[in-house]
Chains A and B, each alone.
Chain A
């Protein structure tokens, strides 16, 4: 709750995580120290309601995963709270929703309801995109430098005189090099971003977002297309970011990753938050399994050696038993 900080950031994220223990896992549960509080965010496209979130809080200093089936509204939700889209329930001058039902959300104590995307990013909530937006005809280094904030040289009049911005440029440059090294892109720094592979573009985008020292970073499917070895090291980086006090919210389909690093999981389906809780509990939740994971989410369907006739028969038997059970329950 803003104004009632239970946890000091500097105590580290362990305390923040500890604070989540024992929370009731029902959708919209209030967190001891929420950095982002969202209310009544509704987005309709014509007759279809893509997002309808009544209340959601994101705990400061932990890694929160946002999961859900395709079309659940996860990316639309991201767009809404980062200012790239406007909720249908936004307050309007004339007409619009009743007071108390209008969309509002707060980040770090600042209301963000009618703020443009650039201002949201300046507040410290920086996002990446599911379809990468690498600036193709700029070098990797230029991509990185663009991410840094407080650059005097970005003012038209100051930019003409190099000594006025050279010092800050040097700092930013050093920071970019360090991040590029961490993300294994240092050798590529003078290449055009267009020449990177899909996975490398994902990495570049994440590194670029980190250039601005965000308070909260929002990653839209960060690991899609990144090779397993690099995924491992990146997961380590994300955890390190959290341990430094950064809040991470990410959308991901890879359940191993979600289970591995997230401290809290929010499940969306058909635009609504259907469940939330610690990863272990959420994945046992029947509603989540039905809506998203499927009954056999622990079986590796990609492993051919497992798919012998016997296994197939066993699976078929299991399914029919389950069907019989559910029918039995209905009766």
Chain B
């Protein structure tokens, strides 16, 4: 019973954690790419990494917080342009190939030992080296507060302040996507998802719209990267291919082309994993599965879940069956 309570507490804690918010923001960005525009971006973690590095290095270099954020966003815009200019005129699959390789290039360059004095190499950058200006902004003061399972420092490294900011950003971006997608701009994007040539025949510059969508979603990815590293440290390997697939799982689980799908997906994603891990830890004897193995087992189940969703419920939890947005033609 005690173990179950621990698992439940862990789930509730993860539902509010900045990591979940970061995943949700990245998934909202991916939703603009895939859910609304039909762009197969397989390198959303690359956008996160670009944003995270640009932010952390700028702060460590002594720039003010606001400038560091602007540089992080600008870096994502540049990255999107570099990826988009050669590929957006080609068929969708090419963007997928280019984005997945580009994200890997960023990660490899980031962890390269040649750049150790800038990026920290494979050890990465410790949170204390870039967190200062952000926590200084907090108006929550010192001390601890909490209710139920949630007890954190008011400011601290992983406290209420970062949670407040992270979820405020999730809310802000959700409202933004809602406003965009009800507008004629969003209508053009959905048209492109359905049939580029038809939209082109109606006199819309498809290339430009796809580029705008790629940039916007990528910028959200960069913000997610910054949110992700603020309570923790910046390590290139924590935002690798597996992160991209977590984002995809969260998006498809919640429902692509919906406003709340990415958020719900991110929360459910972590909750499911913790639930599996907790239950396996409690009921499967250690002689069969050690605690390390239960964690790996939970990741395996996540992979299976992604497959099952795509096959049996392509519209996700919230998606409209009629507008099922996984491209099954």
Q: Name A's B-contacting residues (CB within 8 A).
A: 82, 84, 116-119, 121-122, 126-129, 133-138, 142, 145-147, 149, 151, 153-156, 159-162, 165, 169, 192, 205, 208-209, 211-212
Write the chain B residue with the least CB distance to A142.
B187
How far does the Cβ of A80 sit from chain B's closest Cβ, in whole Å?
14
B residues contacting the other copy or chain, number (CB 8 A): 31
Q: Which residues of A contact B322 (CB under 8 A)?
A: 137, 192
Q: How far is the CA of A118 from the CA of B199 in the complex (A)?
A: 8
- 23 sample A-B contacts, Cβ–Cβ < 8 Å, listed by A number: A84-B200, A84-B201, A116-B205, A117-B201, A118-B200, A121-B200, A127-B201, A129-B201, A133-B195, A135-B190, A135-B195, A137-B190, A142-B190, A146-B202, A153-B183, A154-B184, A154-B188, A156-B212, A159-B179, A159-B185, A205-B198, A208-B202, A211-B202
Given A119, A138, A147, which contacts B190 in the complex, CB threshold below 8 Å?
Answer: A138
Given B184, B185, B187, B202, which contacts A126 in the complex, CB threshold below 8 Å?
Answer: B202
The answer to whether A146 touches B323, judged by C-beta atoms less than 8 angstroms apart, is no
Q: Which residues of B contact A142 (CB under 8 A)?
A: 187, 190-191
Q: Which residues of A contact B216 (CB under 8 A)?
A: 156
How far does the Cβ of B319 sit from chain A's closest Cβ, in whole Å?
11
Write the chain A residue with the least CB distance to B176.
A160
How far does the Cβ of A164 sit from chain B's closest Cβ, in whole Å?
9
The answer to whether A159 touches B201, judged by C-beta atoms less than 8 angstroms apart, is no
- Consensus secondary structure, chain B interface: helix
Q: Which residues of A contact B204 (CB under 8 A)?
A: 118, 146, 154
Question: Counting CB contacts under 8 A, is B197 at the interface?
Answer: yes
Q: Give 5 nearest A-B pairs by CB, closest first.
A: A121-B203, A153-B184, A159-B183, A159-B185, A133-B198
Q: Which residues of B contact A135 (CB under 8 A)?
A: 190-191, 194-195, 198-199
Q: Which residues of A contact B45 (CB under 8 A)?
A: none
Write the chain A residue with the least CB distance to B329.
A136
How far does the Cβ of B176 sit from chain A's closest Cβ, in whole Å?
7
Write the chain A residue with the least CB distance to B204.
A118
The answer to whether B203 touches A149, judged by C-beta atoms less than 8 angstroms apart, is yes
Question: Counting CB contacts under 8 A, is B251 at the interface?
Answer: no
Write the chain A residue with the least CB distance to B212.
A156
Q: How far is the CA of A80 from the CA of B323 in the complex (A)?
A: 33
Q: Name B's A-contacting residues (CB within 8 A).
A: 176, 179-180, 182-188, 190-191, 193-195, 197-206, 212, 216, 322-325
Write the chain A residue with the least CB distance to B182.
A162
Q: Which residues of B contact A133 (CB under 8 A)?
A: 195, 197-198, 201
Write the chain B residue with the least CB distance to A169.
B184
Q: How far is the CA of A209 from the CA of B202 in the complex (A)?
A: 7
Q: How far is the CA of A133 from the CA of B196 in the complex (A)?
A: 9
Q: Which residues of A contact B325 (CB under 8 A)?
A: 137
The answer to whether A160 touches B183, judged by C-beta atoms less than 8 angstroms apart, is yes
Task: Name which of B180, B199, B202, B206 has the most chain A CB atoms within 10 A of its CB.
Answer: B202
The answer to whether B176 touches A146, judged by C-beta atoms less than 8 angstroms apart, is no
Given A122, A128, A136, which contacts B194 in the complex, CB threshold below 8 Å?
Answer: A136
Q: Which residues of A contact B182 (CB under 8 A)?
A: 162
Q: Which residues of B contact A146 (CB under 8 A)?
A: 187-188, 191, 199, 202, 204
The answer to whether A155 touches B201, judged by C-beta atoms less than 8 angstroms apart, is no
Known A138-B190, A145-B187, A146-B188: A159·B180 in contact at CB below 8 Å: yes
Known A135-B194, A137-B323, A138-B194: A117·B188 in contact at CB below 8 Å: no
